Amino acid sequence: MSEKRSIWLVADDYAQDPAIDAGILALAGAGRLSATSVLSQSPHWPAAAAALLALPELAVGLHFNLTHAWQGTAMRLPRLILAANCGGLPEPRLRQLGCEQFDRFEDALGRAPDYIDGHQHVHQLPQIRGMLLEEMTRRYGRSLPWRSTLPRHWRGWKAALIGYLGARGIPVQMRMNSDFAGVYGFQGERFAALMQRWLQDIQTGGMVMCHPGGAVAGDPLVASRPLEWAYLAAPDFSNDLDRAGVRLLCRRDMLSIR
């Protein structure tokens, strides 16, 4: 029997809302996730952080935010992409937001993030990625692993566009993952079939992002989160992993490659 491929399955948006957190924690406790990316800017974060301390095998990353509306932060994504590519983001405010989100992560968990990514992938944009790299070097004397959004197979125009917007700007030695999947239109009823396809073709060391959790009013993913959670929590997901010859990596694997 061939050796299993090892991949990252990462749940985004921890601390956005307690209903989302409950779904992520249930999956993590059942060994159905590799990692979760946290919105440390959220007012829910300090209380939500405590539950993660009981999950030592779950890697926890900083989900750097500039687009979700907390503390006057939000900027519409198209405008943000344009400004970042033109060098038009105000550097003092950008650095302030970076410092605040790192500080809140460290204050709650007592350690550095295991990796870096971004809400709506803003971490990879020009100007933003430079600030994050400088701040990591100042704090930790090194760069942390970063989520790469570069897919190694054709996974649709949306996935290709996300990768085009900044994936190649992240140095190869900093990339946490060798392949990337999980991009779709967030029609949750398609998630199981898509996951089965991703598991079949994703490279070892690749990452699948997901957005499971309870339904939250006003959330753009209100329809898809419960459906993603239901599939990932069900025996079907374990069976699909086995059929594809895939195992999920965990925090211990990440620490071993630093």
Residue 71 has pLDDT above 60, yes or no: no
Higher pLDDT, 186 or 155: 155
CATH number of 5-256: 3.20.20.370
CA 73/CA 68 separation, integer angstroms:
7
Domain map of the chain by residue range? 5-256
- Please tell me the predicted confidence (pLDDT) of residue 254: 82
pTM of the predicted model as reported, rounded to 2 decimal places = 0.95
Beta carbons within 8 Å of 37's beta carbon, 6+ residues apart: 10, 11, 12, 13, 14, 60, 61, 62, 63, 117, 147
* 186 — pLDDT class (breaks 50, 70, 90): confident
Cβ–Cβ < 8 Å for 205, 254: no
Percent of the chain clearing pLDDT 90 (strictly above): 87
* 188 — pLDDT class (breaks 50, 70, 90): low
